[in-house]
Copies of this chain bind each other. A is one copy, B any other.
Amino acid sequence: MLMRTTYSGLVTEALMGQAVTLCGWVNRRRDHGGVIFVDLRDREGYVQVVCDPDRAETFKTAEGLRNEFCVQVKGVVRARPPGTTNDHLKSGKIEVLAHELTVLNPSVTPPFQLDDENLSETTRLVHRVLDLRRPYMQNNLMLRYKVAMEVRKFLDANGFIDIETPMLTKSTPEGARDYLVPSRVHDGMFFALPQSPQLFKQLLMVAGYDRYYQITKCFRDEDLRADRQPEFTQIDVETSFMTEEEIREMFEGMIRSTFQNVLGIDIGAFPVMKHEDAMRLYGSDKPDLRVKLEFTEMTDVMKDVDFKVFSGPANSADGRVVALRVPGGGEMSRGEIDGYTEFVKIYGAKGLAWIKVNDAAAGREGLQSPIVKNLHDRAIAEIMKRTGAASGDLIFFGADKAKVVNDAMGALRVKVGHSEFGKSRGLIEGAWRPLWVIDFPMFEHDDEAQRWNAVHHPFTSPKDGHEDWLETDPGRCVAKAYDAVLNGIELGGGSVRIHREDVQSKVFRALKIDAEEAKLKFGFLLDALQYGAPPHGGIAIGLDRFVMLMAGAESLRDVIAFPKTQRAQCLLTQAPGPVDEKQLRELHIKLRNPQGA
């Protein structure tokens, strides 16, 4: 005897006249005209159950039902009376006349209504089990499953093999803080939870597994922002014997087919943009291409203006001056412009210069701006010519260290595009806009520490022919690295890896990792590369963010069943928690502040 013959949400007119047994939760009970209606809810949706007084026992049970009672209903499917059908439900044309009704488990009154849209995040996380009952969360987690399964099917069809790599491992060099696990067997020693399976997947390539994948947890003990979690899930892939272009093509296919098969959306081919072009045009290595605004380079023009705010950066080796033309922006109020001025300060900008083009044909006289008086005619002419500004436009300016200009004006570009103004003016397209950003520099210079740091990670291959510059001119080296970007969010990134031991050693030297340290930390990699390591490369895609984007969710926490707060706590289970002294003793550690704990 089956406890259930089908899901409540799947009862349709196809079952008309048939007996069904359903299990689920009371979403709502209504008493109407001497009859009790119960909206029965399960994973797949709702069905209306009717209990009439003819069946006294069933009716009595129905009278006792409250929201979130778990019940079993045996009954018969029948058409709803004319005029009472509901087109929004799969089961909207039918109802189930209850013959038997059993309370499987009652419920105390929930702390909130499941359809309350204004719950605080704390309430939701403390009562996560009830929060997870809400169709919003169920849809998100179902979507997450579908995405993961589509990815698996795609990779399986392309010969990729899921191989598990260790969770208890050695500190890896991704640069973030490790979560550590004290060893009981080895006094004073620690495992680290993986920041990524990077080295293991490279070793699997050296071992000849050819195509590897894993959908796996990674860990970073960083201060959390809204879009970070201490543990996150990565679609981690690596392949041998494919060029950079082939790899990109493969994983573009994976992302596109996932969108296609899960959401029925073709997000289109990914344009390929060089890193330097992305920075030049958008000040960002993950430009939101939905926003139809671009930077105009002004650095060269501003070298000899009197206006120090512009000429200073223009004449500095690491300075930059750009214009951002906003078509129709002349309509912006002074208050809006002041708001943007405050906004760019978040990114370190000292202010926000602007010109309103009242009459493009009228030269200097047609411009309204606090700064025009400081600019010579040639500069003004160049501004108008290069930006192509027309009457009614607004031009913003950023002038500072290049990094500040890129960050501030890049963020401003997105902010304006996504504003009500931007939407009303068609400065943003509603569609999905993916791209590849490629040709990242190998290194970025840390001026304070006077050293080069890896932009991706130290296992990224330089472009062919750039190997010699590793020693002579690291700043010139371009990497075989690529990021997949969608609507301004980095879905993931990857690279062709170094497969030659001599090149790897050179990169370590460029990063001031000396031979001894390299051997200690990465000896097993250098060793492996000596045994005929194949050319290989791969990518890692953040599953949480991928799903968040597809779900249109605001927070990573809305696509993770049991997430942590920004203080890295689980409000449901109260993890982390205190432990016994005995456990600490076994692990050969003690607390620094036993009182404080």
Contact = CB atoms under 8 A, between A and B. Distances in A.
Contacts of A166: 231, 562, 564, 570, 575
A467 to B, nearest CB: 14
B246 A3 contact: yes
Given A23-B240, A105-B532, A200-B562, A578 B188 contact: yes
A192 B204 CA distance: 29
A156 B177 CA distance: 37
Nearest to A243: B3
A217 to B, nearest CB: 5
Contacts of A230: 168
Contact of A145 (B3, B41, B163, B576): B163
Interface in A121-163: 128-130, 132-133, 138, 141-142, 144-145, 148-149, 152, 156, 161-163
A169 B573 contact: yes
Contacts of A577: 170-171, 189-190
A216 to B, nearest CB: 9
A591 to B, nearest CB: 5
A499 interface: yes
A110 B585 CA distance: 43
B246 A573 contact: no
A1 B142 CA distance: 40
Contacts of A32: none
Given A231-B168, A597-B189, A587 B180 contact: yes
Contact of A231 (B23, B167, B591): B167
Contacts of A185: 567-569
A593 B534 contact: no
B576 A183 contact: yes
Q: Which of A106, A206, A241 has the most CB of B within 10 A?
A: A241
A181 B183 contact: no
A392 interface: no
B591 A241 contact: no
Interface string A30-42: 0000000000011
A170 B533 contact: no
Interface stretch (A207-215, A341-349, A548-556): A207-215
A583 interface: yes
Contacts of A142: 161
Nearest to A207: B132
Interface residues of A, number: 123
A70 interface: yes
Q: Which of A161, A528, A531 has the most CB of B within 10 A?
A: A531
A586 B573 CA distance: 24
A457 interface: no
Interface string A218-256: 010100000000110100000011110010000000000
Q: Which of A106, A152, A156, A573 has the most CB of B within 10 A?
A: A573
A500 interface: yes
A108 B530 contact: yes
Contact of A592 (B184, B206, B585, B597): B585
A532 B23 CA distance: 12
A362 interface: no
Contacts of A7: 210
Contacts of A208: 24-25, 41-43, 132-133, 138
B193 A181 contact: yes
A69 interface: yes
B190 A130 contact: no
A180 B110 CA distance: 34
B181 A578 contact: no
Interface in A483-533: 499-500, 524, 527-533
A432 B374 CA distance: 89
8 contacts: A3-B242, A23-B241, A25-B532, A105-B535, A129-B524, A167-B217, A168-B219, A203-B562
